[in-house]
A and B are shown apart, each in its own frame.
Chain A
Amino acid sequence: MTDGRGSRDSGRVSREPERPDGAPWIVEAYRQHFAYVYALVGRLGVHSANVEDTTQEVFLILHRRREEFRGESSVRTWLHGIAVHVARRQRDAARRRAAKLHEIAEPLPPSPPDAELDRRQALRWLDRLLDSLVDEQREVFVLAEVAGCSAPEIAEALGLNINTVYSRLRLARGRLQRALESLRAEEGARHGAA
């Protein structure tokens, strides 16, 4: 992914080399959209340890539902909806797992080393900001500002009223603005202490 919209995407995946198992089509779709879906899933709150598997799941569902694809919309638009729902399921499953782990007091997975975090500071900030959003706002914001979807596209992908989309987007932006100010203050204090 070279930017939020992914420059590798042509938006269309030829179905020409179709075989009974649809493998070439999905491989082509994968090549075009993998980096984009991977980054999108990560921003939708899927734990970093699960992003690869979740991304794989998205493409597997795309493959399973390939017969429904008629080319009226781009594969990417279709992937948005799949990614949001798969990510939501993963988040829910992770929360249930975390609750169970908490019950039996198992230690949480270790955090990435600091060096890695420092090297990817912008991503760390982005994910911390997105973590400040509730799931419903996060999904709408990520589709709007990361995936570059229009409000009607988001409404369709999430099955929402368009006014709900605008409302959630407005709330998300307000919350993110406040979270950004907190983050700046926190970072300023950290550097001041150092």
Chain B
Amino acid sequence: MEPLEPELRRIIREGLAEAAPGPEVEARVLAGLLRRLPGEGGPDGDPGGTGGGGPAGGAVGTGTTGMAGGIKALIVAAVVVVGGVGVGVAMRGPEVERVQAVERVDVVEVPVVVPEVQVVEPPAVTREDVPRVSGSRVARSGDASRVSGAGEVGPDALLAETRGLAEAEAALGRGEFAAAVELARALGRRFPAGQLGLEREAVEVCGRCGLDEAGAGAGAAAFLRAHGDAAVAGKVRARCAEALQKNLAAK
């Protein structure tokens, strides 16, 4: 295949650079996604199951419906992590309206390998027929955030944990290593069985390397031995390169 015409290639390259979403968008979409992850089969989930070997039976709500349910119900300021940057996102009026405007989309989930899409004509529903946000949904969400002996659990807890991790990573990014370590440890105390434990541990390890603490290199080496294939391992290798070398030399 011949190479693309240079002008077209330039437009693609520059267009894609301009298409990059801001952190607030990334945070907003993640917040909606996290709201929909647990309790599939519930109000925000897919009642048709998740395995998805073949076309899911019947029409399922789109991301919009679930997102609207979760977010409209709570109208919260969701603060989530985005690539190490914590971003506060308050759902504003126009955004909520936009979500509402596309609430009536009906689609069918199809498998990736199927070439032809089966589209089900949306049922003739009126806006009044669209399930509204109910008090029970709010209650479910609230219940999910209860505190247990293993720490906070549920979607709200994951959101909070993600936010805490963002703060710790942001501190690390600013070179405030002591703060990063402290934030990571505080996160560990708050979420002892948290779902982002590995990421939290990586921040702590990197922070200790930044502080040039005694044993930081050994800690980094231990982390890499245990989680060398994890995505965060690259971060530890990069931030702890010097400490790892020292540790190696000391042996």
Contact = CB atoms under 8 A, between A and B. Distances in A.
A127 to B, nearest CB: 7
Contacts of A26: 33, 37
Interface residues of A, number: 79
- For this complex, into which size category does the number of interface residues on chain B fall? 35 or more
Interface of B: 1, 4-5, 7-21, 25-26, 28-30, 32-34, 36-38, 40, 46, 50-53, 62-64, 66-67, 81-83, 98-99, 101-102, 104-110, 112-117, 119, 121-122, 158, 162, 195-198, 227, 229-231, 234
A3 B17 contact: yes
A147 to B, nearest CB: 10
B11 A129 contact: yes
Interface in A98-149: 109, 120, 122-123, 125-127, 129, 145-146
Contacts, number: 213
A35 B16 CA distance: 10
Nearest to A28: B231
A56 B16 contact: no
Given A63-B37, A65-B112, 16 more contacts: A1-B16, A3-B16, A10-B234, A17-B197, A21-B37, A24-B196, A27-B30, A43-B15, A53-B64, A56-B36, A61-B109, A64-B50, A67-B51, A85-B110, A120-B18, A129-B8
Contacts of A16: 198, 227, 229-230
Contacts of A170: 1
